[in-house]
Amino acid sequence: MPFLTLSDGNSLFYKDWGNITGPPVVFSHGWPLQSDAWDNQMFFLGQNGYRTIAHDRRGHGRSSQPWTGNDMDTYADDLQQLFVHLGLTNATMVGHSTGGGEVVRYLGRHGTSRVDKAVLVGAIPPSLGAIPSNPDGVPLAVYKQQQQDFIDNRAQQAVDTANGPFFGFDRPDHNRSEGLVEQYVQQVLQGGFVNQYECLTALFLTDFTEDLKKMDIPTLLIHGDDDQLAPIDSTARKAAQILPNPTLNVYPGGDHGLPATHLHQVNQDLLDFIRGTGEGGGEGEDCPSTW
């Protein structure tokens, strides 16, 4: 399994699949998961001639579990080291949830010289929490409760999240998948405790507004209008108003875990956008749900 030794001595696990000479697509996963959450998209795009790359964020999955550096700036700098290590250029970056924040911070911090396009799926920018720049965000009392639940029983929090709002299994029209629940919990429990705990602060309280303004590349936002964890009105719809060149693709009834629950639709939307057949500006027509 490939690992990159970072400048601070920590190890970053990554996958490098598909056509090694094909256009690169770089995936960033959500909290508190790992790169395996993107396997279906990586396989699909790999079959279509692309080079697909995904890493386990520091402190998550198989990467090192350092006591420090669990913040968006460091996540972005780790990703830049991976770009340099693999010599990636003309890439498409894809981020889900917290990974969407990682993509936006990377582009705000390191620029777009290596990146042609970006895709944000159920992503947290401009901010998830109700901070001064986005007072309509998720109340900070929810953040505090998430922290406490994590400390009290991380495993039970993972079970409850997977059975409830992450995949929308608490909605009557969503058919629960035991496999998705088990996969989610397994990924959570492989990560570092302190790393996931501190990542909660990063994902709730980071302001990505200025990063979004610097993204001078076509950006596709894919978001469910029933996303209970990153509500669309305070995330994707606001981000689309800030981004220079956005397309907002809304999935009616869509939940937070779209890469799993709507995988075929997400796969096709990614392929169309990367190929250049799904670009545009502003908010597009709502997509029919595959659920």
Known catalytic residues are: 97, 227, 256
Give the span between the Cα atoms of 263 and 163, in whole angstroms. Answer: 18
Is the CB of residue 239 less than 8 Å from the CB of residue 126? yes
CA distance 180 to 183: 5
Tokens 């972005």 sit on residue: 76
Side-chain half-sphere exposure of 148, counting CA atoms within 13 A: 6
Question: For residue 96, which phi and psi values (nearest 5 degrees)?
Answer: -110, 130
In 3-state terms, the chain is what percent helix, strand and coil (to 5)?
A: 40, 20, 40
Return the HEC string of 146-194.
HHHHHHHHHHHHHHHHHHCCCCCCCCCCCCCCHHHHHHHHHHHHHCCHH
Report how far residue 174's alpha carbon sits from residue 121's, in angstroms, rounded to the nearest whole number.
19
Whether residue 24 is preceded by a cis peptide bond, meaning omega within 30 degrees of 0, is no
**Cα separation of 275 and 116, whole Å?**
11
Rounded to an integer, what distance in angstroms lies between the CA atom of residue 79 and that of residue 236? 23
Cα dihedral 226/230/234/240 (nearest 10): -90
User: Tokens at residue 288, please?
Assistant: 């029919």
